[in-house]
Structure 1
Amino acid sequence: MTIFSSLPVSQQVVAESGHRFDANRHWAASLTLGFGSHPTNNSNTRITRMNHARHYGPLRVQRPFYPEGRAGCCHVYLLHPPGGLVSGDALKVEVNVAENAHTLLTTPSANKLYKADSNDVAWSQNTILKVADGAILEWLPQETLAFDGSIGVQNFNIDLAQHAKCIGWEILCLGRPASDLPFVKGHIEQRFQLSQNDRPLWLERQALDPNHRRFSGKWGQGGTTVHATLWTVGLDDPNEAIMALREQLPATNQWAVTFRRGVLLLRYLGHERNQVWDLFQQARNILRPLLTGHQATTPRIWLT
């Protein structure tokens, strides 16, 4: 039975579905994936299989792909049919990569962070990545588009074993400049925590608020609309990797690379989604052979 109240439509509670439309609205969805390395009929080779997949709400995966051969990296596409987050959405993705497995996770399209409702209810997005000894994880989602007025928090927690390897990126585009809809209000917070053997290596909190001086100040974001970070852990020779990036990537003042506490970070601040996308793909082409011993393979979904 659906119950209607005298409150405004935005504040009514729809009891039948269990969904709230007031300041306490909360729509959860979760996805837990597990990958393991398994022997094949050929005793000399192993295959990475997705051996666990559990979901709640509108989060799914397509079947695994093996564009690098059955003994190569397992490619999986994460699907969120709604296409974006609205007020009250709480998405959680947890990935566990077992010993000696190798998987690549990406998305078929951009993620969208929509404008908050009249109650300014926030959304949340939690990503937990766990990689065991000898395992490799490539976390390569397409960009996130934040609409003007969006309010929420993104949490990234990366937990690596001593001999685990990981390469990943996050690309955040603020507003829709092509439609003359800049990001002039709202608040988005990004939190990164990368640990190895329970020892924190990279802790970061970035608050994006157009009303704060840091947002437009040259000492902060400088008014840029595209913020992106690429990370890599597990390189045998970080100095070689940094030199290769500096020599082969386009020479601009919009990106910089550092290496501290075992983590290589490539940062981008600019205004062009296509520019950072091309930059990060070039960087991955350089880093992946150094990290895994294999040339970079482009996920087919990026070409559609």
Structure 2
Amino acid sequence: MLDSGQHVKMQRSMGEARVTFDGARLGQLRQIGSAKAQLPRISGRPEVVFLNTSGGLTSGDRLDYSVSLSNAAQVTATTQTAERAYRANDGAARVRVSHDVGEGCWLDWLPQETILFNDSDVARDTHVALAPDAGCLLLESVVLGRAAMGEDVCRLNLRDRRKITRAGTPVFLEPLVLDTATLAHGGQSAILRGARAFATLVLCAQGAEDAVGAARSALNHDAVEGAASADDGKLVVRLLAADGWPLRQQILSLLHVLRRGTPPPRVWQM
């Protein structure tokens, strides 16, 4: 039996999944630990589905997802289900997402939502590196607990850094810090205004600003507050909602417009 003052070292989850495409052909598939990548058989654009077999994130966990595209490859990458971040009492869980989109290539990075529970601690870094003529659609969505279960999340630590570069030059950079002190002032207009679900979509490509009108027209869900802005090859849409379900429905409407009618990833339809 352990003494009351003795520290128990918990098992940690480590995982790395890397996928490369040369045109429509699969190049490399690398999987280590709890991170896996599935490639469902579908017609049209290839899909990569990442998953974390550990079932969630907590202190000390490490996940690394990566897609690398060349030779005009066009790929959609997503996650099998929502990622859940649970109580962390010994440091942050760390997630690194690093995608390399080569010349003439296109990547839709459309992970399903991250659900944060009380006392979760997550540090995530997402970087999409574009070649000069490449393009991408990036989505990140976060839900604070489960409204249907009556969960009220008021203690957490999230550091979520998102970056898109083109030929090494940053074109989108968003460092997000959400912690217990921030949530205590969540009713303020400059923060979440009481919302418990939020998302950002970024379309980065030549002529992306031309889609701003269509994106604004798609912001038609009464339970979601949204706004779209665009400039110089970049369209950014931000969303706030009281719960994850209406947020998801609004995201699907936007994806239909921004992907020109292409169906969402198959796992999104389950």
Match of 1:151 among 82, 100, 121: 121
Return the alpha-carbon distance in structure 1 between the equivalents of residues 216 and 77 of structure 2: 27
Shift of the 303–27 alpha-carbon distance from structure 1 to 2, 3 Å rule, reads closer
Partner of 2:19: 33
Moved over 4 A (4+): 4-9
Over 3 Å counting, the alpha-carbon distance change for 1:214 and 1:194 in structure 2 is farther
Residue of structure 2 in register with 1:229 after alignment: 200
Stretch moving more, 154-163 or 176-185: 176-185
In the TM superposition, residue 299 of structure 1 has moved relative to its aligned partner by: 2.6
Contact preservation (8 Å) 2:16, 2:31? yes
Gaps of 5+ in 2: none
Q: Deviations over 1:176-227 (max 9, x none)?
A: 2222221111211111111101111111111111323553322222221101
Equivalent residue letter for 2:20: G
Match 1:201 to one of 171, 182, 185: 171
2:105 maps to which of 125, 132, 135: 135
Is the CA contact (8 Å cut-off) linking 2:18 and 2:37 kept in structure 1?
no
Partner of 1:100: 72
C-alpha change, 1:238 and 1:261, in structure 2 (3 Å) is closer
Residue among 241, 259, 262 paired with 1:288: 259
- Whether contact under 8 Å (1:210, 1:216) holds in the other structure is no
| Residue 256 of structure 1: how far off its partner (Å) | 0.4
Q: Deviations over 1:208-259 (max 9, x none)?
A: 11323553322222221101011111143523x1111222430657100111
Per-residue deviation, residues 97-121 of structure 1 (Å, max 9, x unmatched): 113001111222111001113xx42
Q: 2:47 aligns with which of 65, 75, 84?
A: 75
2: CA distance between counterparts of 1:255 and 1:208?
20
**Match for 1:164: what amino acid?**
A
TM-superposed deviation, 1:93:
0.9
Q: Is the 8 A contact 1:194 1:202 kept in 2?
A: yes
C-alpha separation in 2, matches of 1:110 and 1:187: 18
Task: Tell me the TM-score normalized by structure 1.
Answer: 0.81
Displacement after TM superposition at 1:63 (Å)? 3.1
8 Å Cα contact 1:100/1:132 also seen in 2: yes
Instruction: Single out whichever of 108-117 and 256-265 deviates more from structure 2.
Output: 256-265
Distance 1:149 1:235, change over 3 A: same
| Cα offset, 1:65, TM superposition | 2.3
- 1:299 equivalent to 2:251? Answer no
Q: Which residue, 60, 67, 73 being the options, matches 2:36?
A: 60
Aligned letter for 1:83? Answer: G
3-state SS of paired residue (1:275): helix
Corresponding residue number in structure 1 for 2:233: 262
Structure 1: give runs of 5+ residues left out of the alignment: 13-19, 38-47, 290-294
Does the CA-based 8 Å contact 1:201-1:262 persist in structure 2?
no
Equivalent pair of 1:61/1:78 in contact (CA under 8 Å) = yes
1:161 aligns with 2:127: no
Name the residue aligned to 2:143.
173
User: Which residue identity does 1:225 align to in structure 2?
Assistant: R
How far the C-alpha of 1:83 sits from its partner, in A, is 2.2
CA–CA separation in structure 2 for the residues paired with 1:251 and 1:181: 24
Q: Which has the higher strand share?
A: 2
Partner Cα distance (1:259, 1:193) in 2: 17
Q: d(CA) in 2 for partners of 1:277 and 1:205?
A: 23
Matched, 1:49 2:33: no
The whole-number CA distance in structure 2 between the counterparts of 1:228 and 1:49 is 32
Cα distance in 2, alignment partners of residues 237 and 260 from structure 1: 8
Q: Pairwise CA RMSD of aligned residues?
A: 2.1
Once the two structures are overlaid, the 10-residue window that deviates more, 189-198 or 214-223, is 214-223
Task: Give SS of 1:222's match.
Answer: coil
Is residue 2:245 matched to residue 1:274?
yes
Q: Percent identity?
A: 25
Cα contact 1:95–1:129 (8 A) shared by 2: yes
1:35 counterpart letter in structure 2: F
What's the counterpart of residue 183 of structure 1? 153
**Aligned AA (2:246):** Q
